[in-house]
Structure 1
Amino acid sequence: MSPAYHGLWGHLLIVWISVLAFLFPAEAYEPLSDETLKSLPRASEDYDIHSGAILAPILQTRVPGTPGHEVVLEHFANFFQTTLPKWQIELQNSTSTTPVSKGKEVPFVNFIATRDPPGAPAGDVGRLTLVAHYDSKLEPEGFIGAIDSAAPCAVIMHAMRSIDAALDKKWAAMEAQGIDPLDERHGIQIIFLDGEEAFDHWTATDSLYGARALASNWSAEMYPAMSTFKTPLSSIELFVLLDLLGSKSPYIQSYYPTTHWAYQSLGTAEKRLRSLGQLKSSAKRDWFIDAHKDSHDVAPLGGIQDDHLPFLARGVEVLHLIDFSPFKGFPPVWHTPDDDAGHLDMPTVEDWGLVITAFAAEWMELEGYFDVSEQASRRNESPEAEAILDKKTEL
């Protein structure tokens, strides 16, 4: 993660994106009911920094080419193979020298998991794509990268597990009604990118190793003739990048006019969940501070370099969720030894899981396909019952 200023290409890209905002309307997006929002599962135990099944295995050094990196990659594979077996797993491999590798090729592995409607040809499905990088910095020694980006990876894993059964129910219901799930042609995908961090200092070639390799590969990989989409890259309907999330009071800006509607949907989800008493973190202000703006008023601030850039440069629609304030910069722990498990704000991490789950569920139009939990039903009985349940779910 590194701040830098866009050059001329950046200004031209902004103009191009602004033009596209007038040409292409927003995608359909069905809000979840209050009852469904209150029934969304939490991941309190799985986010435990010592023993949580999702987060704890990621909270270790994971520099590309090291044993810790391999352990985390295996953790991702085991999670999907055992918990979400209907997802298709793909590993995209590449190698590159780095400024510190002394001419040796360092391996980079991007982890991709995809869930499409049953029987859908890959080239005919547009996908919501949720993305985070999973590598950690070489220095400072022992750097964990809890917000950068172990917690974002865990948030995405929890969200996908939370909507998986609802996807099954929706597609089964469509088939039972004689509706071909292929008529929907919407799937969902996660990408855990490798090699985001620089090994020496941030440059165009010492950074974004995995993102550059995958974007290049997917732009050249062709789907069969007559497919709806030409390449895996063009099948990405929205590229949502999560980075530096897990500190208190995140400050999330909107950077791209054509995806501002999706940013506003996230802002609405946060507000609704908070008004329903579902969020645990304190809130002096909304997280999505640009949600009140019109898309015409959205403009990038200073050009934050991150994994989205190789995809953005190839025309992919991007929503960049990164904690960055124009007044304070990145969170104080950024790229310091303090970016560890002990400095995560766990109520905020857990709340991110709910917000991203709600967003993904609404994108996939899953209202009516969740089981309204006993807990959510009991919350409606009385304020006293709600208070008791809240105590039971405290970290």
Structure 2
Amino acid sequence: MSPPNGVGFRPLLSISIAILYFLLAGQAYDEISDGTLNALPRPNNDFDIHHGALLSPILIPRVSGTPGSAAVLQHFADFFRNSLPSWNIEFQNSTSTTPVSKGKEVPFVNLIASRNPPWAAPGDVGRLTLVAHYDSKYSPEGFIGAIDSAAPCAMLMHAMRSIDAALTKKWEKMQAKGDTDSSWEEQKGIQVIFLDGEEAFKAWTSTDSLYGSRSLAEHWDSQVNPAMSTYKTPLSSISLFVLLDLLGSKDPSIQSYFSTTHWAYKKLAHLEKRFRDLKQFKSSTDSSHPTWFLDSSKMEHDISTFLGIQDDHLPFLERGVEILHVIDAHPSTGFPVVWHDEKGVPDDGEHLDLATVEDWSMLITAFAAEWMELEGFMPQSRREAKDAEHKREKRSGKNVDRLNMKTELS
């Protein structure tokens, strides 16, 4: 087996650690408890389409390079600076001509917000990467793009706010106990990317689309971390690239597109089932469509490996990044009826199914909390927290044994 893409030169032990991280990715963390799922915070009025603090400011035309785009970008920046001050915010800028710009360079601005363990060097942190695009279509004039992708952006904002305090508690406890270098798997961070310029201005081509993602993927692939870092580039530090798109319509249909990340797809599907069993989802399903995740009963070898739907993941996929594409696209009926207003149904706030939007935000929160191993640090009962601590300590011992075994074999 070849080393993971982009892992830099390090001593043998560090290389073994990096390889082991990817080999065990599918089993590297435990489920969060029912108590935690029951206690997850809800967005409530923050998703109100007229006055909601998270969603409503995004429900405006926001074509790249326009005042609407700048206003939404400022909304994101203000949210992290004011609500999540421990997060680092960066902007990645580029310009390009478009088929409608008459030779003029249009600016594209990606926002990256991240949190890393406070003791870890940036080049040593593998990051769960949650992504949505924030631009809206150039045509028809006044296009809002509620599912495409205002609602996914708001979902990510809610999810990160919901886990932020737990991240702080976990990392503070690790520092207090001196556990900051006890295991390779604790060098885990998280980042959110709001991408600009996903939409084509005229007709979808390799050059008229994905302006922001093409620029960011190229930039991160060429930006080298300091010598002796675990990850050679910011691109190779992406543990999983989870792209959300076209989410917010009732009864979504989510397929699994990549066999190597089917395990993560199945974790999302399992979380959906658990939420429904606990009566914690507001959206309903019927016997003909009992789950959002159409391929949840399949094994990874049953998944057809192909590029799937063209979207912001492509520039990252082409560079070896592991992708989980969460997009509403039924194999028979295609995209939701509001997609691009092509069927005369506007993709605006009034056509969102808010129960589904809220449920998606809860699901993404649970997935991120599970990945970051926040059981025992999220809100829950005292007994559940104690049980979670016992389970975490027991599992930590097993990981040390597995790591020692790998090192000796190396």
TM range (shorter): 0.7 to 0.9
Corresponding residue of 1:196? 198
Corresponding residue of 1:131? 131
CA deviation profile, 1:294-339 (whole Å, cap 9, x unmatched): 0000115773100000000000000000000111000000001610
* Alignment partner of 2:259 out of 250, 257, 267: 257
Q: Is the 8 A contact 2:110 2:195 kept in 1?
A: yes
Query: In the alignment, is residue 159 of structure 1 matched against residue 159 of structure 2?
Result: yes
Corresponding residue of 2:77? 77
Structure 1 residue 204 displacement after superposition: 0.3
Query: In the alignment, is residue 296 of structure 1 matched against residue 296 of structure 2?
Result: no
1:305 and 1:88 mapped to 2: Cα distance? 30
Q: Is the 8 A contact 1:117 1:182 kept in 2?
A: no
Identity in percent: 66
1:104 and 1:370 mapped to 2: Cα distance? 49
Residue 273 of structure 2 aligns with an amino acid whose one-letter code is: K
Query: In the alignment, is residue 308 of structure 1 matched against residue 313 of structure 2?
Result: yes
Structure 1 residue 177 displacement after superposition: 1.8
2:63 and 2:182 mapped to 1: Cα distance? 40
Count of aligned residue pairs for this structure pair: 354
1:315 and 1:182 mapped to 2: Cα distance? 29
Residue 174 of structure 1 aligns with an amino acid whose one-letter code is: M
* Alignment partner of 1:332 out of 329, 334, 337: 337
Corresponding residue of 1:187? 189
CA deviation profile, 1:61-90 (whole Å, cap 9, x unmatched): 000111110000000000000000000000
The worse-fitting range, judged by mean Cα deviation, of 365-374 and 280-289 is: 365-374
1:290 and 1:326 mapped to 2: Cα distance? 11
Residue 292 of structure 2 aligns with an amino acid whose one-letter code is: W
Mapping of 1:347-366 within 5 angstroms? 347-366=355-374
Change in CA separation of 1:34 and 1:56 when aligned onto 2, cut-off 3 Å: same
* Alignment partner of 1:238 out of 237, 240, 244: 240
2:241 and 2:141 mapped to 1: Cα distance? 32
CA deviation profile, 1:203-229 (whole Å, cap 9, x unmatched): 000000000000000000000000000
Corresponding residue of 1:42? 42
Unaligned 5+ segments in structure 2 are 1-18, 385-410
Q: Is the 8 A contact 1:117 1:181 kept in 2?
A: no
Corresponding residue of 2:168? 168
CA deviation profile, 1:348-388 (whole Å, cap 9, x unmatched): 000001000000000000000012279x9xxxxxxxxxxxx
What root-mean-square deviation, in Å, do the aligned CA atoms of Structure 1 and Structure 2 show? 1.7
Change in CA separation of 1:130 and 1:37 when aligned onto 2, cut-off 3 Å: same
Query: In the alignment, is residue 26 of structure 1 matched against residue 11 of structure 2?
Result: no
Residue 205 of structure 1 aligns with an amino acid whose one-letter code is: T
Residue 43 of structure 2 aligns with an amino acid whose one-letter code is: A
Structure 1 residue 24 displacement after superposition: 3.7
1:271 and 1:115 mapped to 2: Cα distance? 29
Structure 1 residue 176 displacement after superposition: 1.9
Structure 1 residue 26 displacement after superposition: 2.9
Corresponding residue of 1:120? 120
Query: In the alignment, is residue 367 of structure 1 matched against residue 366 of structure 2?
Result: no
1:36 and 1:29 mapped to 2: Cα distance? 15
1:178 and 1:365 mapped to 2: Cα distance? 18
Corresponding residue of 1:5? none
Secondary structure at 1:321's aligned position in 2?
strand
Secondary structure at 1:305's aligned position in 2?
coil
CA deviation profile, 1:69-122 (whole Å, cap 9, x unmatched): 000000000000000000000000000000000000000000000000013211
The worse-fitting range, judged by mean Cα deviation, of 363-372 and 123-132 is: 363-372
Q: Is the 8 A contact 1:171 1:181 kept in 2?
A: no
| TM, length-normalised to structure 1 | 0.87
Residue 26 of structure 1 aligns with an amino acid whose one-letter code is: A
Corresponding residue of 1:64? 64
Change in CA separation of 1:69 and 1:373 when aligned onto 2, cut-off 3 Å: farther
The worse-fitting range, judged by mean Cα deviation, of 298-307 and 120-129 is: 298-307
| TM, length-normalised to structure 2 | 0.84
Runs (4+) off by over 6 Å: none
1:320 and 1:120 mapped to 2: Cα distance? 29
1:149 and 1:289 mapped to 2: Cα distance? 22
Change in CA separation of 1:156 and 1:247 when aligned onto 2, cut-off 3 Å: same
